[in-house]
């Protein structure tokens, strides 16, 4: 893109110079021809022209004089155009110079961030940076004024280079990397804990379900036993409110005491 822009500027510069030369040649030629025709040494331009059905006499002379006046008038704009072109060229040269300054400043600022400069006073600091730029292999073709400007800019920005030095940036990146690794490890452990919690909840639900099934089976078995006890000749003793067991009202024979069934308090599992 930059090469195309430079090529366009070159083509524009060439055609501007050609146009200026043509304007000057045309103005001089028309002025000379008109002067020679006015003195009768040359003939005026012959131009057959009619207006409203009538032939215009000396139309060629009028056309030649008009073209001469136009060419001379354009010549008065040539100095202005020349100043505009000079401003454009100076602007392009200034842009190129600023690019060179920016490139030199980037190089010396990188060296400053790497703590290659140790002198603190302004004169010594600028001189040290200027010597570094002069010895730089990529900046040896730049003008001394450009290098001096870049060195002064680097001296002004030395505090910024100290704050954002390569060593401090490396430590900050290492710290952030460690924090990121810790966060990733914490997330892994958190996912593991969530998985264990989910497994324990599922296990607890299965145990409670199995307990409820066992209790239901025990109750059903107890109900069945209560139904068949009278048929087996067994007596059921029910505890009263004062926790003293009472028997059904009949006089039991000592030989039948073995057939008495006493309700026991339910266990905690029930």
pLDDT number for residue 211: 93
What are the helix and strand counts (H, E) for the chain?
A: 7, 5
Question: What value does the mean pLDDT take over residues 206-221?
Answer: 92
How far is 228 from 233, CA to CA, in rounded Å? 9
Q: How confident is the model at residue 265 (pLDDT cuts 50, 70, 90)?
A: low
Higher pLDDT pick, 195 / 241 = 195
**Model confidence over 10-57: pLDDT tens digits?**
887 788 788 888 888 888 888 888 888 888 888 887 777 777 777 777
Question: For 30-55, b where at least 16 C-beta lie within 10 A, e where not — what string?
Answer: beebbeebeeeeeebbeeeeeeeeee
Q: How confident is the model at residue 223 (pLDDT cuts 50, 70, 90)?
A: confident
Question: Distance between alpha carbon 187 and the CA centroid of its chain, in Å?
Answer: 26
Whole-prediction pTM: 0.39
How far is 118 from 125, CA to CA, in rounded Å? 8
Instruction: Specify the long-range contacts of residues 32-35, CB closer than 8 Å, at least 24 apart.
Output: 33/64, 33/68, 34/64, 34/65, 34/68
Higher pLDDT pick, 232 / 209 = 209
Give the Cβ contact number of residue 24 at 10 Å. Answer: 14
**Model confidence over 111-166: pLDDT tens digits?**
888 877 877 777 778 888 888 888 887 776 777 777 888 888 888 888 878 788 88
Strands 50-51 and 54-55: antiparallel
Helices 78-113 and 122-135: crossing angle in degrees, nearest 10, is 100
DSSP 250: S
**Which residues, other chains included, contact 165 with Cβ-Cβ below 8 Å and sequence gap of 6+?**
113, 114, 115
pLDDT number for residue 173: 92
Question: At residue 84, does pLDDT exceed 80?
Answer: no
Instruction: Specify the long-range contacts of residues 239-242, CB closer than 8 Å, at least 24 apart.
Output: 239/263, 239/265
Question: At residue 75, does pLDDT exceed 60?
Answer: yes
């Amino acid at each position: 893109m930059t090469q195309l822009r430079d090529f366009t500027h070159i083509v524009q510069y060439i055609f501007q110079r050609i146009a200026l030369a043509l304007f000057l040649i045309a103005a001089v030629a028309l002025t000379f021809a008109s002067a020679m025709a006015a003195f009768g040494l040359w003939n005026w331009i012959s131009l057959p022209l009619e207006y409203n059905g009538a032939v215009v006499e000396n139309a060629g002379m009028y056309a030649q004089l008009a073209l001469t006046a136009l060419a001379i008038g354009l010549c008065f704009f040539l100095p202005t155009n020349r100043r505009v072109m000079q401003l454009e060229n100076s602007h392009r040269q200034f842009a190129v110079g600023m690019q060179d300054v920016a490139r030199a400043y980037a190089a010396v600022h990188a060296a400053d961030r790497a703590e290659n400069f140790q002198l603190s006073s302004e004169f010594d600091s600028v001189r040290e940076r200027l010597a570094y730029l002069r010895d730089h292999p990529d900046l040896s073709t730049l003008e001394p004024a450009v290098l001096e400007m870049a060195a002064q800019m680097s001296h002004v920005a030395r505090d910024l280079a100290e704050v954002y030095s390569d060593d401090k940036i490396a430590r900050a990146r290492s710290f952030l990397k460690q924090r990121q690794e810790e966060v990733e490890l914490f997330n892994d452990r958190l996912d593991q804990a969530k998985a264990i919690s989910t497994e324990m909840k599922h296990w607890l639900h299965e145990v409670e379900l199995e307990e409820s099934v066992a209790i239901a089976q025990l109750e059903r078995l107890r109900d069945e036993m209560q139904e068949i006890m009278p048929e087996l000749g067994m007596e059921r003793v029910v505890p009263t409110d004062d926790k003293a067991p009472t028997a059904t009202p009949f006089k039991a024979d000592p030989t039948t005491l073995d057939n008495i069934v006493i309700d026991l308090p339910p266990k905690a599992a029930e």
